[in-house]
């Protein structure tokens, strides 16, 4: 049978329990240990009922009035509780002894013993309360430090009680706040870097376009060949601006989770073939051997073809851009358990180990990321962050490995279940 927990929280129920249990326990012990006559047991029961009722009513009055809340120090409040407890014990025992002991000698002896026991209890209570309040004081000081934005503050946890649990919770909260603060600072640095990068990437092509147009308008150049070259260069710069704006817009959609992908079964073999075909001319111009390998058991997979095509093109383009002439770039796909894994391996380039974890961060710029291609195009520096967003939107993951003697491999995997959107 289950008992409603609210019964144990009712002050009246608690009051009855506090009154009945001590009386019943004392009467039982008297009957068993001392075998008192019936009339003495009745007298003893009557005295205990009166004194117990009086002390219980007094305790309930303190509870209702909230007397302990009047103190400005928890240490003194606890010490006062112990003092009141000792006083009630003294009064209860003394009153009962006063009406039951025949000889005053025993009453005096009992009083002396009660005073001694009470003072000893107060001493023990003082140091016990000090132990608790000292720990709470440390928690209070740590909280003030935390409020002052010192997120490195930690409490030494001692004991296994509620105060220790509170200290552990405080440490968890401080650790979480420290992580949030570090993320906030990183976001602020990224925001400043983004402003600088975008300003640079906008200013450079705009300045170039302006100079070429002014040269043509002022008649500085008038031969058809130079005018055609200036117009072609302007077209390249405008395409770069358009690509930068598209990348920023797409990255913003990824950051707020508004990216829409159209999932269908499509041939990864065809996507890889199209990617190699589209990048073949650029690879040949750089003297790079571009190859593709697709396992026999990999073809139709669940994906958004346009997004995966963007990822493949971006990764292969990066591999060609940063590879030296004469090396091989290999694009391969195979089944790895329940996933489809795709690797783009560049046998001639190396990325430092400390840069690998940050390659796919938004707006991270590695060494040489701003260099211009032979055709005049510049990367926006956002391609890998967008590629990561596309792969994660499919429920997959993307990563990179690099060894000086073997080169660099960009890998991603696509689960063959319903991708997250």
65-69, 167-171, 198-202, 353-357 — most confident range: 167-171
pLDDT of 114 over the 90 cut: no
Compare 12 and 157 and report the one with higher pLDDT: 157
Quote the mean pLDDT of the chain: 76
123 vs 342, more confident: 342
**Separation CA 230–CA 227 (nearest Å):** 5
What pLDDT is attached to residue 44? Answer: 61
Lowest mean pLDDT among 179-183, 278-282, 291-295: 179-183
Residue intervals in the chain for CATH 1.10.287.130: 190-256
Phi, psi of 339, deg, nearest 5: -110, 160
Q: Which range has the worst mean pLDDT, 24-33, 68-77, 349-358?
A: 24-33
Parts of the chain belonging to CATH 3.30.565.10? 264-415
Q: Record the pTM.
A: 0.51
pLDDT for 33 = 46
Q: 190-256 architecture in CATH?
A: Orthogonal Bundle (1.10)
* Confidence (pLDDT) at 413: 92
Query: What is the pLDDT at residue 17?
Result: 59
Q: Which of 18-27, 193-202, 254-263 has the lowest mean pLDDT?
A: 18-27
- Count, in order, helices (H) and strands (E) of the chain: 9, 7
pLDDT for 319-372, tens place per residue? 888 888 888 899 999 998 889 999 999 887 788 887 887 788 765 555 444 444
Q: Looking at 163-172, 287-296, 308-317, 411-420, which range is the least confident one?
A: 411-420
Alpha carbons 119 and 87: distance in angstroms, whole number: 10
4 phi, psi to nearest 5 deg: -60, 125
Q: What is the pLDDT of residue 367?
A: 46
**pLDDT by residue (tens digit) across 182-212?**
878 877 776 776 677 677 667 777 888 888 8
Question: Does position 373 have pLDDT exceeding 80, yes or no?
Answer: no
Report the pLDDT value the prediction gives residue 127, as an integer from 0 to 100: 72
Residue 406 sits at φ, ψ, to 5 deg, of -115, -20
Cα distance between residue 255 and residue 8, in whole Å:
51
DSSP-assigned letter for residue 361: S
pLDDT band at residue 312 using 50, 70 and 90 as cut-offs: very high
**What pLDDT does residue 419 have?**
46
Question: Across residues 382-393, what is the average pLDDT?
Answer: 84
pLDDT digits (tens, 9 = 90+) for 389-404: 889 888 899 999 988 8
Six token digits for residue 350: 């190396």
Question: CA 55 → CA 62, 83, 84, 164, distances in Å?
Answer: 11, 14, 10, 33
pLDDT: which is higher, 137 or 363 = 137
pLDDT value at position 272? Answer: 92
Task: Please give the Cα distance from 128 to 120 (Å, whole number).
Answer: 12
Arch. (CATH architecture) of 264-415: 2-Layer Sandwich (3.30)
What per-residue confidence (pLDDT) applies to 370? 42
Q: What angle do CA 355, 359, 362 make, to 5 degrees?
A: 130
- Place 276 in a pLDDT band, splitting at 50, 70 and 90: very high
* Cα 109 from Cα 275, distance rounded (Å): 103
**Could you tell me which residue, 223 or 56, shows the higher pLDDT?**
223
Q: How far apart are CA 132 and CA 162, in angstroms?
A: 10
> What pLDDT does 212 receive?
87
Going by the DSSP 8-state scheme, the letter that residue 174 receives in this structure is H
Query: Is pLDDT at 273 greater than 60 in this prediction?
Result: yes
For the beta sheet containing 339-346, the strands, ordered from the edge strand earlier in sequence to the opposite edge, are 289-294, 328-336, 339-346, 407-415, 397-403
Q: DSSP readout, 180-221? A: HHHHHHHHHHHHHHHHHHHHHHHHHHHHHHHHHHHHHHTTS-
């Amino acid at each position: 049978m289950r008992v409603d927990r609210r019964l144990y929280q009712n002050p009246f129920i608690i009051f009855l329990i506090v009154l009945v249990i001590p009386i019943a326990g004392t009467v039982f012990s008297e009957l068993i240990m001392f075998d008192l006559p019936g009339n003495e047991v009745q007298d003893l029961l009557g005295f205990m009922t009166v004194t117990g009722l009086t002390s219980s009513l007094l305790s309930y009055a303190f509870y209702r009035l909230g007397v302990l809340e009047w103190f400005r120090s928890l240490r003194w409040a606890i010490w006062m509780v112990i003092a009141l407890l000792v006083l009630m014990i003294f009064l209860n025992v003394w009153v009962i002894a006063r009406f039951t002991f025949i000889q005053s000698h025993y009453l005096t002896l009992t009083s002396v013993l009660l005073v001694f026991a009470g003072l000893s209890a107060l001493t023990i209570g003082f140091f016990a309360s000090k132990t608790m309040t000292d720990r709470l004081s440390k928690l209070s000081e740590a909280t003030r430090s935390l409020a002052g934005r010192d997120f490195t503050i930690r409490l030494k946890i001692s004991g296994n009680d509620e105060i220790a649990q509170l200290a552990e919770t405080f440490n968890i909260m401080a650790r979480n706040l420290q992580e949030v603060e570090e993320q906030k600072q990183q976001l602020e640095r990224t925001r400043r870097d983004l402003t600088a990068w975008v300003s640079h990437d906008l200013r450079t092509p705009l300045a170039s376009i302006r100079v070429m147009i002014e040269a043509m308008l002022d008649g500085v150049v008038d031969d058809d060949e130079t005018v055609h070259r200036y117009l072609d260069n302007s077209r390249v710069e405008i395409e770069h601006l358009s690509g930068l704006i598209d990348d920023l817009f797409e990255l913003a959609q990824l950051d707020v989770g508004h990216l829409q992908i159209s999932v269908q079964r499509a041939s990864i073999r065809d996507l890889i073939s199209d990617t190699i075909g589209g990048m073949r001319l650029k690879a040949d111009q750089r003297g790079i051997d571009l190859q593709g390998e697709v396992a026999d058991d990999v073809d139709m997979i669940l994906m958004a073809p346009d997004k995966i095509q963007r990822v493949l093109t971006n990764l292969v383009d990066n591999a060609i851009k940063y590879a030296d002439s004469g090396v091989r770039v290999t694009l391969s796909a195979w089944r790895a358990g329940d996933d489809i894994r795709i690797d783009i391996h560049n046998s001639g380039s190396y990325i430092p180990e400390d840069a690998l974890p940050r390659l796919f961060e938004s707006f991270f710029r590695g060494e040489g990321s701003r260099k211009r291609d032979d055709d005049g195009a510049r990367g926006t520096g956002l391609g890998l962050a967008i590629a990561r967003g596309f792969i994660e939107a499919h429920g997959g993951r993307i990563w990179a490995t690099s060894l000086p003697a073997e080169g660099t491999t960009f890998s991603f995997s696509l689960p063959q279940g319903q991708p997250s959107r």
